[in-house]
A and B are shown apart, each in its own frame.
Chain A
Amino acid sequence: MADHFRIGTLTRASLAALLLGLTSAQAYGIMNPEQMLAQAVAEINAQQQTQALDTLNQLIALYPDFQLAQLMRADILYAQSHLLTKMGQAVDSATVENLQAEANARLSAVKQPQEDKRPSYLLAVPTWLSHIIAVDLSESRAYLFALKQNNMRFVTSFYLTQGKLGAGKEKEGDKRSPIGVYELTAPIPANKLTSFYGAGALPLDYPNTWDKRKNRSGHGIWLHGTPIGQYSRPPKASDGCMVFSNDDLQQIMKTVNWQKTLVVTDNPLKWEDAETMNEAKNQLQQRLEAWRNAWQSQNGTDYLNFYADNFIGGNGENKAAWSERKTKLFSYHRPHQIEISDPLIIRYPGEQGIAITTFNQTYIREGTKTVERKRIWWQRQNDQWRIISEELVS
């Protein structure tokens, strides 16, 4: 469905898939606007214009500002008296092209991941993490997963709008949405914002450490809603923010705790079997444990061998400064104990061989315990994971 969406060009097979998908999705509960839209399209394709018109009339009674639904209703009515060969044929407007793109994105996206597949980024889930929002920028779709230990449950997926120029933010004003892994910062309620942002906003912590290392600039990348009077926006329309319909954003805000949620974006999102992901997880887990061991035993050579030449510490130290300081510390031979627990392990999207491990670190010396959360960035160099950044996080 790379070309423009046309009424009547869905194949029977995809129509059947659409219908099957629908029945399973609505076995219980209410059809959401997108499902109603898909039903109308299925009805149009089955030449049940009357049913399709019923469905669309219902949909626009509930969501009069759902422009795509209005366009499809208009098309059905127009087709009663004219030969309609393509969506929105009767109007000459750039909006129609956007609505065609929206129809394409909404109807052709995979709405539910395959049962045994999961986004291939999250390798180890810490206890504090409750949700992950995995965004496929190529499909204009966000998948919400609930997490419990290593059990990942698909909740639902949403259509979304990204930057006008697509994915891969590099600098301020480039009208692109970032690819990466982000934490949320405190939500901004609707009444603190202009109506442009609709139901509210969930800001991302773009640019993160990796972004800064790559000299990526810009700020204020939010997940937010749509203005009142506009149910949804075209697939590529924002300045880099990811925009959801207000209903969807409210559902996200209601479901997730922003402090326990990560947003992963990629273009396209990669899916993988849990089993093959386990291999990658074990590799990084072992590497992390070896690093802990080297640090605890204060073996300077072993320990410093973990650090890449392009290492930059949280306080800006380069490899040489770090080595000097650590060697000096180790020379006192003061016994210490280091424990690592509850690690989050992530394979970074959009990069070959970048990984993050975030964990609780308990540092014990002379009976004093210091518990901190540490994040280590790893890069695959010459077939080995090496540390390129180490920072304390809150």
Chain B
Amino acid sequence: MQRPIFYRQLSNKIAERFRPAADDAQPAAFSLHQRIARVREQLSQRRTRVSFIVVFFILAMLWLTQHNNDNLIEQALPLPKTSVIEMNDARLENLSSKSAATTHEQTAQQKSEVRSTLSNANTQAIQLAVKGDVTKATTQLENALLADPQAGPVFENLRKLYAGFAAQSYQLAVASNKQQPITVELNDAKQTYTVNLPLLATNTNERRTLANADNNNAEKITTTENKTEPSTTTVNVATNTPAPTPTKVANVAPAVVAPPAPVKAPPPPPLTAAERREINTAVMAAVKRWSEAWSQKDSKAYIQAYAPNYAPKTMTHKAWVAYRTERLAAPIFIKVELADQKAILLDPTHVRVSFLQKYTSDLLSAKNQKTLELELINHKWLITSESER
């Protein structure tokens, strides 16, 4: 269940770069389980790892002997096949922190009392769930969190935000072009705040770009559309705006003209989905060429997949070229397979791609999670950084 640290970092980056604007305010962890874990963590910051592990082992033994009956029940009443849910019993941690609390100040003791109510509820919920009453267990967990003076409001606000985000996506699921603004009311101890969630990105930009790009045909298309298509207002509005500057010029011009202008240059328009797709395709093709060059032991093509003067931290470019050329020549055969490629658009000319790399040669086979950063240099996507774990 717990994801590798790398993947969590990756997800943060995706959250920043690819997630629709609405998610900006949203922390990285999503699962209820993880959120509860986090609340718990905040409440016991002073837990020491060593005592935790020792106490864990002792209690694990105790717990196992005590709960043999529960295990029997679990075997007799298996949960539905498809949803074996892992639930963690916090009692162990709780006790560990209790033992730690004896050495701490009163505040810590109070905190741990709060936690003990929560973790008792957790234990009860697990017992209910193991016995098959999963619905009751869920209510129990929910109520415990909501009733908690500290975690309760946090949990409730979080739920409201999630529900708000969900509502946005539901809107687009039901009608991809109709989006009403969604507001969420968040509470702290003193007052209620009304928050407007930013609209989710849709294809509106793309629609405009298409209409502009097709300027020659624009008139013809809009007239035919007007006859049969009631929902083309966006297209019509877009084409009626003053003649748009071609995209190419728009990209170059500000760089030349902007410096003397004292006013802030407007931020570049966000990429449309179509542009993102184009970048995605080009980057993935570049990564594929890189892996193929490697597989074919084609060191020239392999090195050309990197930026000119590319060098890892530990060596010079020249040394790296020599090293890689040698490494590619050494085995009789090399096979590099990639899976689960995911791309994160850092900006229009920088992309981070991560994937599972399966390397096989007559000398070695290895599976790595690899991350490449590519930059658009002279219209080519070239590797500027490479790391793996």
Contact = CB atoms under 8 A, between A and B. Distances in A.
Interface of A: 8-12, 23, 26-31, 39, 45, 47-51, 53-55, 57-58, 60-65, 67-68, 70-71, 73-78, 80-83, 88, 90-91, 93, 95-96, 99, 191, 193-196, 228-231
B174 A29 contact: no
Contacts of B340: 26, 39
Contacts of A91: 170, 173-174
A12 B159 CA distance: 30
B30 A74 contact: no
A96 B206 CA distance: 25
Which of A29, A60, A71, A82 gathers the greatest number of chain B CB atoms within 10 Å?
A60
Contacts of B162: 77-78, 80-81
Given A64-B200, A74-B168, 6 more contacts: A30-B341, A49-B31, A55-B342, A77-B163, A81-B159, A93-B174
Given A81-B162, A194-B229, A195-B232, A65 B341 contact: no
21 contacts: A8-B83, A26-B339, A27-B339, A47-B83, A47-B86, A49-B30, A53-B30, A60-B20, A60-B169, A61-B276, A62-B273, A62-B280, A64-B172, A64-B202, A64-B273, A78-B170, A81-B158, A81-B160, A83-B138, A90-B166, A193-B224
B217 to A, nearest CB: 5
- Sorted nearest first, the 4 A-B pairs with minimum C-beta distance are A74-B169, A81-B159, A71-B173, A77-B166
B288 interface: yes
Contacts of B167: 74
B220 A191 contact: yes
Contacts, number: 181
A62 B23 contact: no
B136 to A, nearest CB: 12
A30 B32 contact: no
B150 interface: no
Contacts of A71: 169-170, 173
Nearest to B337: A27
B20 A99 contact: no
Contacts of B284: 29-30
Contacts of B228: 194, 196
B177 to A, nearest CB: 5
B20 A228 contact: no
A195 B221 contact: yes
A50 B23 CA distance: 14
Interface string B149-185: 0000000001110110111111011111100000000
B11 interface: yes
Nearest to A33: B277
**Residue in B7, B82, B201 with the greatest tally of chain A CB atoms within 10 Å:** B82
Given A29-B284, A90-B170, A195 B235 contact: yes
A26 B284 CA distance: 11
B380 interface: no
Nearest to B271: A61
Contacts of A65: 172, 176-177, 202-203, 273
B11 A50 contact: yes
Contacts of A73: 169
A74 B82 contact: no
Nearest to B138: A83
Given A45-B82, A80-B162, A61 B201 contact: yes
A67 B178 CA distance: 12
Given A50-B30, A57-B23, A82-B163, A228 B339 contact: no
Contacts of B177: 65, 229
A199 B20 CA distance: 26
Contacts of A229: 176-177, 202-203, 207
Contacts of A23: 339
A10 B83 CA distance: 10
Interface residues of B, number: 74
Contacts of B339: 23, 26-27
Interface string B206-230: 1100100010010011001101110
B277 to A, nearest CB: 5
B225 A195 contact: yes
A86 B175 CA distance: 20
B195 interface: no
A54 B135 contact: no
B34 A50 contact: yes
A195 B229 contact: yes
A93 B210 CA distance: 31
A61 B83 CA distance: 29
Contacts of B210: 228
B184 to A, nearest CB: 12
A382 B29 CA distance: 71
A81 B200 CA distance: 20
Interface in B332-347: 337-343
Given A51-B7, A62-B280, A195-B225, A12 B82 contact: yes
Contact of A57 (B19, B85, B163, B232): B19
Contacts of B173: 67-68, 70-71, 74, 88, 91, 95-96, 99
A49 B217 CA distance: 45
Contact of A64 (B34, B166, B176): B176
Given A83-B138, A229-B177, A8 B82 contact: yes
A68 B176 CA distance: 10
A231 B281 CA distance: 18
A375 B221 CA distance: 40
Nearest to A75: B166
Contacts of B20: 57, 60-61, 64
B16 to A, nearest CB: 11
Nearest to B232: A195
B260 to A, nearest CB: 36
B18 interface: yes
Contacts of A68: 173
A59 to B, nearest CB: 10
Contacts of A39: 340
B3 interface: yes
A198 B288 CA distance: 30
Nearest to A78: B166
Contacts of A57: 14-15, 18-20, 23
Contact of B135 (A27, A47, A83): A83
Given A11-B81, A12-B82, A80-B31, A50 B3 contact: yes
Given A74-B166, A228-B203, A26 B341 contact: yes
A228 B81 contact: no
Nearest to B204: A229
A39 B341 CA distance: 12
A80 B138 contact: no
B123 to A, nearest CB: 21
A96 to B, nearest CB: 7
A77 B169 contact: yes
